[in-house]
Amino acid sequence: MNLIKCNNYDEMSAQAAKIIAAQLMKKPNCVLGLPTGSTPLGVYGILVQMNKNDKIDFTKVKTFNLDEYYPISKKNTQSYHFFMHDNFFNHINIDEQNVNILNGEAENPQIECELYEEKIKNSGGIDLQLLGIGQNGHIGFNEPGKALKSKTHLIELTQNTINANSRFFEKTEDVPKKSLTMGIGTIMKAKEIVIIASGREKANAVYELLSGEITTANPSTILNAHNNVTLIADAAALGEN
């Protein structure tokens, strides 16, 4: 795993944006895998600015988001559908038809997951997957457990994740208990993976990721089995201050 050490959140964001911008220039019709959460907001902000300044072009880019709460309405301001449009897609020149996000309104989640896998496959696969990391080591919403699922699936969120995400909701009880998420295998099929981490609360998960040991107790550690992963972490996430 390549490690890029950064002093702070802004540096981490700039480094990740640089890698994504380089990918867009190398392959203008590339397929990006994208996360939600607080961590990528800085990256999205820089990419929006680069797009406004005509430095990068999204017209041919396809995106697949990692996960979505289930069930949730697209209009709900806490849905990842809303989040991605509000923070990124509404501000860049991407074709909405090329935006793929798991549908939290789907009647049959199983079918929704199967269709999503098909769509990723038919797009030629993900060229560059950007990931955040949960305090408990989750990637997407692949939560720690005895076994990790390979394909896109419906999952029960752990209490740790519900608590961590409750900051966005009025009450903890409002956080949906389930989510649709790309599976570990879906993520591992990406040709290149960039994982970003900022802040002291991530230090333990990042420490385990860097230990090299692979364990389902920290799903991110599976990335040690991928041959093209870059971890971009700030000093706090590396436990250095």
Question: Catalytic residue positions?
Answer: 67, 136, 138, 143
The pair of three-digit structure tokens given for residue 96, joined into one six-digit string? 């909405």
* Residue 86: how many other CB atoms lie within 10 Å: 11
**The pairing of beta strand 67-70 with beta strand 178-181:** antiparallel
* Residue 185: how many other CB atoms lie within 10 Å: 14
Candidates 2-10, 84-92, 129-137, 212-220; binding stretch for ligand PGA (CB under 6 A): 129-137
Select the residue interacting with ligand PGA from 12, 30, 33, 37 (CB under 6 A): 37
Q: Does 176 bind ligand PGA (CB under 6 A)?
A: no
H/E stretch holding 111 reads helix 109-122
Q: Which is nearer to ligand PGA, 114 or 204 (CB)?
A: 204
Candidates 112-120, 127-135, 144-152, 179-187; binding stretch for ligand PGA (CB under 6 A): 127-135
Select the residue interacting with ligand PGA from 38, 59, 73, 211 (CB under 6 A): 38
Closest distance of CB 220 from ligand PGA, Å: 9
Chain centroid to CA 99: how far?
14
Cα torsion at 27, 28, 34, 37 (round to 10°)? 120
- What are the strands of the beta sheet with 153-156, ordered from one edge? 67-70, 178-181, 153-156
Candidates 43-51, 106-114, 116-124, 126-134; binding stretch for ligand PGA (CB under 6 A): 126-134
| Count of residues that interact with ligand PGA, criterion CB under 6 A | 7
Q: Tell me which residues touch ligand PGA (CB under 6 A).
A: 37-39, 132-134, 138
